[in-house]
Structure 1
């Protein structure tokens, strides 16, 4: 192949550096590398140097942190997004944004092929491939690790031959502003407690401060807009809360997860801000939304999370669900106070002008406006069918005199 132009999602790690060289070697390709900054703590200048050193004809660095917060994380907060009630979707949320930037570069540079370093075992291949197909259906997708059956041992040997630095790191780590995922090493044995060395954003419960810290988070239309009374952009708020909650050991997640490809995997995450904000947001919803909206929204939230996790960002159902979510969130305004202590984010206070809680109705004091006499009739009607069904199934008969009832009917006639 001659004059093949390929856009490569480039992290600067072993996989993508090997792929960069291989595509030149096997395909004679001109490779344009793209690194999207969603909050990972990388040296982006060194990544660019590596890209050119190993043969890239052009490199793009794209700072997308604020866009990620405003257009992606924002939606996840409103949806209380926790895949399988545990994972805040940090990696999953970032993939559609990265795909969008890859496609933009591919169209700009006239490249017909988009490549990435995903394996054939993980979820990211689904997210990348479906996203590219949706945004640029004419593009060819190249997935060398899976298509060329690359193994880590082979990659390391190839890297040594071509002067590509080989890291001795044990763990595979992906991070952005919304969370940090850690895989590999002893973590592949789900019976072993994660060693402290895998954590960077959070301290252990044993080392967390003995004194709790309180934070107050302000929400407008379901979106965090202030921290401890100070208005700030969502990106700044998340970064600040990652720091505050992390030092109290909040946000460690260790669970067994069902991947898109059917594999069960042990996943370890750090997400201090995500855990804190979702807890606060859910609590404010309880204060401001009717029980019927909350009940139905829990179904919507779960489905939204499932779609995002499984790479279906461009599925029309996501947009339809967000229509409902956005409408419901119009009432979710107010402040929530969270107590951060020894690995826990505990909601201890909440207030809102839209609160459906009325102390005059809820109180047991004499100023209560609730008419307790109404309860008796309500109970009769509320449980009538359940009681009748139980009596029927268990042979419990009414003590009413049937003949008296018949006589009463005749009188009415």
Structure 2
């Protein structure tokens, strides 16, 4: 029988103080407080896992906090894997939540869960912990991934049933000698694909002015002039900018900078929790904005309209399964096969003209396109072919009869 999930701080008392524990660690308030609670319970072999997928928090800061709380920090560089195996799949799937905003943390949670499970296996850890709470979709995504990965020890978040007041966490950590960012106004999540904010001053959808200084990638500079930019895809993968080949991590970074300089890629929207309630989330994703639009244009140049219509229906199934924590589930994997088959035929390029606040296409090209470049010529050829198909073929003359 599988052990019960860890959902409260009282359940930490059931852990064996002499056996290793793996906990996901962002360096933020919640994950730091969990390290403190583990230390207070005498658990001596705590391994804090930080999966580097291009987040804002510095490794040096995380190491300082983990050391102060008696944990061993493991920084795992997964940037290339995140881009190549998760973000690339999302681009081909046109992974946009209900047409509102591209998905982001949805993509990182299965990767983080797999990294934690692999480390737990190497260490012989008794449990895998994280710090998502009830108002965060991360709770079901991490738990769902851990379940589908088949981790056989207890796992979960003690914040699920034991929320802790923010001020209390600050006070207890300060008393333990750990001084965190008391003035932090929102909860944030970041990676190379997206910077995402929620909670705090953004709690109320009816009144949520976002401070301009919160944005880093999408601020228009005073000297920004219109410019052109070309994105190239091969077999469904973004491979070059302006004809210059780049790995996906580098390509995303360049588009975040270049598209962000025109103020592109800001999103706001409501996303549902487990029981249907919705919370506001703010996103900053310049590269995603341009890559998703570019992909659809190239796809349209390469694939038939009926095929794309069917794919659009499957895209939202793909998004739903990923959102609900079933990245490793059979339905997401099945839809992935269809999407991959379409991607194999999606090659081409889009040239954009960027200007402050917007972007317009200037060229859509494909090596084996379905589009016309000369309508009048096509009409003449089509009519001629149709006429030829309907012109009666004269019967052969009868052979003379010899008497």
Shorter-chain-normalised TM-score: which range? Answer: 0.7 to 0.9
1:78 aligns with 2:92: yes
Per the alignment, residue 274 of structure 1 pairs with 288
Structure 2 SS opposite 1:368: helix
> How do 1:49-128 and structure 2 match up within 5 A?
49-56=64-71, 58-128=72-142
**Would you say the 8 A contact 1:178–1:271 is kept in 2?**
yes
Write the distance in 2 (CA, Å) between the matches of 1:366 and 1:316.
Answer: 45
Query: Tell me, which stretches of 5 or more residues in structure 2 are unaligned?
Result: 1-15, 387-403
1:186 aligns with 2:196: no
CA shift digits 1:59-111 (9 cap, x unpaired): 21101001101111110111111111122211110111111110111001110
**Would you say the 8 A contact 2:224–2:261 is kept in 1?**
no
Write the distance in 1 (CA, Å) between the matches of 2:292 and 2:264.
Answer: 13
Per the alignment, residue 25 of structure 1 pairs with 40
Structure 2 SS opposite 1:160: helix
Count of aligned pairs between the two proteins: 370
In the TM superposition, residue 348 of structure 1 has moved relative to its aligned partner by 2.6
Per the alignment, residue 302 of structure 1 pairs with 316
- TM-score, normalised on structure 2? 0.87
1:368 aligns with 2:383: no
In the TM superposition, residue 26 of structure 1 has moved relative to its aligned partner by 3.0
CA shift digits 1:298-355 (9 cap, x unpaired): 0111111111122110110111111111111122111111222222233231101121
**Would you say the 8 A contact 1:257–1:267 is kept in 2?**
yes
Per the alignment, residue 349 of structure 1 pairs with 363
Per the alignment, residue 410 of structure 1 pairs with none
Per the alignment, residue 386 of structure 1 pairs with none
Write the distance in 2 (CA, Å) between the matches of 1:33 and 1:261.
Answer: 31
Structure 1 SS opposite 2:96: coil
Write the distance in 1 (CA, Å) between the matches of 2:384 and 2:165.
Answer: 71
**Range moving further from structure 2, 93-102 or 1-10:** 1-10
Per the alignment, residue 314 of structure 1 pairs with 328
Write the distance in 2 (CA, Å) between the matches of 1:261 and 1:209.
Answer: 47
CA shift digits 1:170-197 (9 cap, x unpaired): 0111110111101133322223332312
In the TM superposition, residue 143 of structure 1 has moved relative to its aligned partner by 1.0
1:258 aligns with 2:272: yes
Per the alignment, residue 345 of structure 2 pairs with 331
Write the distance in 1 (CA, Å) between the matches of 2:218 and 2:296.
Answer: 23
Write the distance in 1 (CA, Å) between the matches of 2:305 and 2:156.
Answer: 48
Structure 1 SS opposite 2:102: coil
Write the distance in 2 (CA, Å) between the matches of 1:122 and 1:364.
Answer: 56
Structure 2 SS opposite 1:145: coil
In the TM superposition, residue 371 of structure 1 has moved relative to its aligned partner by 2.5
Structure 1 SS opposite 2:17: coil
Which has a greater percent of helix? 1
**Would you say the 8 A contact 1:4–1:27 is kept in 2?**
no
Write the distance in 2 (CA, Å) between the matches of 1:147 and 1:311.
Answer: 19
**Would you say the 8 A contact 2:353–2:361 is kept in 1?**
yes
CA shift digits 1:258-288 (9 cap, x unpaired): 2344221111100000110000000111111
Distance 1:141 1:208, change over 3 A: farther
**Would you say the 8 A contact 1:209–1:342 is kept in 2?**
no
1:46 aligns with 2:61: yes
In the TM superposition, residue 208 of structure 1 has moved relative to its aligned partner by 6.0
